[in-house]
Amino acid sequence: MKPPGKTRQSSRLKIGVLYGGRSGEHDVSLCSAASVAAALDPKKYDIVAVGIDRDGRWYVQDRPVIVADKAFGRVLALQKKGTWLVNHFEEGSRLFVYDIASGKKVALDVIFPVLHGTYGEDGTLQGLLELACVPYVGVDVAGAAVGMDKDLAKRLLAQAGIPVVPWITASRFAWGSRPAAVLRRAQKELCPPWFVKPLRTGSSVGIRKVKTKKDLACAIDYALQFDTGIMIETGIDCREIECAVLGNDEPQASVLGEILPAHEFYSYEAKYLDPEGAKMRIPAKLPARLAAAIRACAVAGFRALNGNSMARVDFFLDRKTGGFYLNEINTLPGFTSISMYPKLWEATGLPYRKLLDRLIQLALLRHREKMAVQTA
């Protein structure tokens, strides 16, 4: 297969910024996308905003329009105009979208999915982009799917010798058929307070911290509203430390940041609804040796989960023991210009606009490598 055509090297790249989407983090995505669309260098790129509504329909916008929003400040507007079809196969290395109402056709050179959570961050969209043979920003299929599944991720991390918080899982079926056994296991193998989480959500959706057996049962019922399986963990009295990782074959770790939630934990309310819900401290105040160990662990975790492109790797630092655990990897972390991931890179010497350039470069590099692989 030929590399991206000569004509496109001389003209500006058309970047399709995908945003919105079918997950519970739709609104967060509109906010992240506003920052990305505003910061992509217009001298280098033509920006095409492609909004995805809550039902999964795609809408190419006439031009990116940023509007004020009560909860999120600035968001990218999502206008539902036209009947757009996505064509995966017309020509390798570009993604085509057509409006069957007007006959308009748009070809995108690189996709920048600014989509958090299900159907954006979980490998499904990445699968579609792989089928289309189009370069895209962010981790690819396996890394996205594993990063999204808290149980799969922890099993791989544990196998790589990375410390993770003790956990058990239960399916909806197991909870429906043998609830007493699930409760007994949690009490026997884990220490209260317990955290109960859906297996594959983000933004703390569906998560509760509980201390009694009765509340544990309620929290399991609650979490199962958001997924077909849940995870129960020992609650750690911890500081929350985050690291930004960037790169394909040679991933680099940023300086560390700390989240200081004003609520009992870093809940959805603390993250998005309460303007005073949490503070960010960059760099995190930590002894140099501990910071170095956490950064190395972030890169090791990124590799263990098939990471490439980018991820924010989150840690719990146990206040009692001084040890740390890798909590989770977010492969499409919050991306507003004041979000932790870009802020960590800024503090490491890579400003927001340059970070976007680097992510696009990494997407093109990975794509070129994949295209060089013999498939027949």
CA distances for 162 relative to 158, 246, 367, angstroms: 5, 19, 30
We find the least distance from the C-beta atom of residue 218 to ligand ADP, in angstroms, to be 17
Per CB under 6 A, the list member of 111, 238, 297, 305 interacting with ligand ADP is 238
Q: Does 201 bind ligand ADP (CB under 6 A)?
A: yes
What single letter denotes the amino acid at residue 15?
I
In angstroms, the CA 276 to CA 41 distance is 32
Cα separation, 136 vs 134, in Å, equals 6
**Which positions from 251 through 310 interact with ligand ADP, judged by CB under 6 A?**
261, 265-266
**Closer CB to ligand ADP, 11 or 228, in the complex:** 228
Tell me if 261 sits within 8 A of 240, measured CB to CB. yes
> Which of 204, 308, 309, 331: binder of ligand ADP (CB under 6 A)?
204
In this structure, what token pair is assigned to residue 354?
């340059």
Identify the CA nearest to 355 among candidates 367, 345, 364: 345
The total of other beta-carbon atoms located within 10 Å of residue 163's CB is 15
312-341: which residues touch ligand ADP (CB under 6 A)? 314, 316, 327-328
Q: How far is the CB of 203 from ligand ADP (least distance, A)?
A: 5
Please, are residues 265 and 346 in contact by the beta-carbon 8 Å criterion? no
**Closest CB to ligand ADP among residues 19, 266:** 266
Among 123, 202, 301, 342, binds ligand ADP (CB under 6 A): 202
* Type of residue numbered 238: C
Residue with smaller CB distance to ligand ADP, 47 or 245: 245
Among 203, 254, 309, 337, binds ligand ADP (CB under 6 A): 203
Residue 207 near ligand ADP by CB under 6 A:
yes
Of residues 159 through 178, those in contact with ligand ADP by CB under 6 A are: 165
Distance in angstroms (rounded) separating the CA atoms of residues 192 and 247 = 38
219 forms part of the interface with ligand ADP (CB under 6 A): no
Shortest-Cβ-distance residue relative to ligand ADP: 266
